[in-house]
Structure 1
Amino acid sequence: METSRQLTKPQAIVFDMDGTLFKTETLLIPAYHNVFNQLREEGLYTGETPPEHLMLGSLGMLLEDIWKTVMPHEQVHVHRRADELLLKFELQGLQEATSELYPSVPETLQELHNRGVKLFVASNGLEHYVKGVADVHQIAPLFDGLYSAGEYATLSKVDLLRRLMEDHGLERIWMVGDRSSDVEAGRKNGQTVIGCAYAGFGKEDELKGSDVLITDFSQLLTLYEQAEK
C-alpha cells in the first residue's frame, strides 16, 4: 500500500464495479465469445473474434467506446446489438454462479457498513448488469445506491459521480477504482482517490494521480481506521 498524504474520513465511499469489487473476467470472457458467436450467426459480423485483451483493456469505458475499440470498422447497429447480447449473456452467466468478487470484498464492505460508512457504486456499465452483480453476490443490501451510466445516461464517470454526490448531499468522499476514469472522476470532483492496483487490466500509468494505491481490497479498512476525523 502506497499513500501520498494523510487522509480524512469520508462521508461515503464510492466504488467502481469491474476490476474493483468484481473479478470481471470470470463473467466477461465467456460472454464475450458468446457475443461474437451470435453476431456471426445473425450475419452481423464475419471473421475471427477480436483478441480478449482488447476487451479487458477497455474496461472502465462506456460500452459505446468499448466496441469502437474492439471492432472499430463495424457500423453502429452492430455495436448496439453487441450491447444487447453482452448484457444477455452476462446475466445468464451470473445465474450460473461461476463469477467471483475479489478476495475480502464482502467482508470488508460488511465491516465498513457496520461502522456506519455510506457505500455506493458508480460504474460505467449497464444498469441491469451492475445491479445483477451486486444481487447475485449478495452485497446489494450494503449499498446506499448503485449508480450506472446505463441508468443515468451520463457521458462520463465525472458526471455520474457528480450526480451521485448531489443526490445524496455528499461533500467528502473516497472514490475507489482501478481505471483512469475513476481517478479522473475523483479528481475533477475534488475528492480523494484510492487506486486499486490488483486487477491488472490497465496501462502502467493507469492510476497516476491516485492519493493511495492498494494491492488488496482489505487494506481499505486500515486506511479508514488511520484517517483523520
Structure 2
Amino acid sequence: MLISLIFDMDGTLFQTNKILEASLQETFDHLRELNKWEKETPIEKYQEIMGVPLPVVWETLLPNHGEKVRREANEWFHESLIANIRAGKGDLYPHVIEVFSYLKNNNFSIYIASNGQKEYLQEIVNYYQLDHWVTETFSIQQIPSQNKADLVQAILTKYSIKKGAVIGDRISDINAAKSNGLLSIGCNFDFAQQEELSQANIMINSFLELKTIFANLNRDYLEVKN
C-alpha cells in the first residue's frame, strides 16, 4: 500500500523568506504612493502569522482598511512574489529534491497542501518542476471553510488515502494531521515557533532527517484512524 505524505509549501518546501521581504516592501510602497499607508512595512508581523489563510493575513496587516484595499494589496503582493520566483530569487530548502526522489523511489506518494493561492503555488511547482515527484498540489482556495484540516481531508478522500503524514512548519499543519488521524512532523525552519512544534509527533531540523524517519518508522503508525 502506498504511504501518502502531505507537505506544506511556505516555510516547509519553499524558502519564502528569500522573497517575502522584497515583495511585501513593494506592496506597501504601492500603498504609500496612494497615501494609504504611513508606517513601516509590517514584515515581522507577517513572519509571525505565516501559515494562516490570506484573508486573515490582510485583516491582520491592514486592520483599519476596507476589503477593496486589502484585495488590491493581496494582488500586488502576489504579482511581486511570482515575479521574484520567475527571476530565480526564491529557493527550495536544502535536500528537498533529494528527499523527494528517495520517497518516490520507496513507494511513497507526495502531495502539497498550502494556504497559498493557486497561481503562486503553481509558479513554484513549475519553476522547480515539482510535478515530477508531486501527485497534486492543493490550495486552501479549494476549500470554502479556509481550514487546512478540511483541505487535508479532501486529499484523503480524493485519493482514498489510508496511511500518511502531514509535514509542515506551523500549528495549522500539525492540527490538520491530528484532525485526520495522521502523523504530524514539524519542520523547525524559518517561520516555525517552538510552542507550536512541541505539539507535533516528530520535529526535524533538516529535510534529510525524513529519509531516516521513513526508513525506520513502523508503517502501521501512519494508518488513518477512522
What's the TM-score once normalised by structure 2's chain length?
0.91
Alignment of 1:10-159 (within 5 A): 11-43=3-35, 45-159=36-150
RMSD: 1.6
CA distance in 1: counterparts of 2:152 and 2:145, whole angstroms = 10
1:226 aligns with 2:199: no
**CA distance in 2: counterparts of 1:25 and 1:155, whole angstroms:** 23
TM-score, normalised relative to structure 1? 0.90
- Of all paired residues, the percent bearing the same amino acid is 27
Q: Distance in 1 between matches of 2:75 and 2:82?
A: 11
> Are the equivalent residues in 1 in contact too, given 2:24–2:41 (CA < 8 A)?
no
2:15 alignment partner AA:
K
- Unaligned ranges ≥5, structure 2: 220-226
- Paired AA for residue 11 in structure 2: G
For residue 186 of structure 1, report the CA deviation from its aligned partner.
Answer: 0.5
What is the CA distance between 1:209 and its match in structure 2? 2.0
Matched residue type, 2:211:
L
- Assess if the C-alpha contact under 8 Å between 2:114 and 2:139 holds in 1: yes
- Cα distance in structure 2, aligned partners of 1:174 and 1:210: 11
Counterpart among 192, 198, 217 of residue 208 in structure 1: 198
Q: Which has the higher helix share?
A: 2
Q: Which residue of 2 aligns with 1:190?
A: 181
Q: CA deviation at 1:187?
A: 0.5
Cα deviation code 1:20-51 (max 9, x no counterpart): 001111121111111111222244x2202333
How many residue pairs match? The answer is 219
Partner residue in 1 for 2:157? 166
Is the 1:12–1:118 contact (alpha carbons within 8 Å) kept by the matching residues of 2?
Answer: yes
Counterpart-to-counterpart distance in 2, 1:46 and 1:138: 38
Rounded Cα–Cα distance in structure 2 between residues aligned with 1:57 and 1:67 = 13
Structure 1: gaps (5+ residues): 1-8
Tell me the distance in 2 between the aligned counterparts of 1:82 and 1:127.
17
Partners in 1 of 2:80 and 2:4 — Cα distance?
A: 33
Query: Shift of residue 70 of structure 1?
Result: 1.6
Give runs of ≥4 in structure 1 deviating > 6 Å: none
Note the C-alpha offset of 1:228. Answer: 1.9
Paired letter, 1:162 = Q
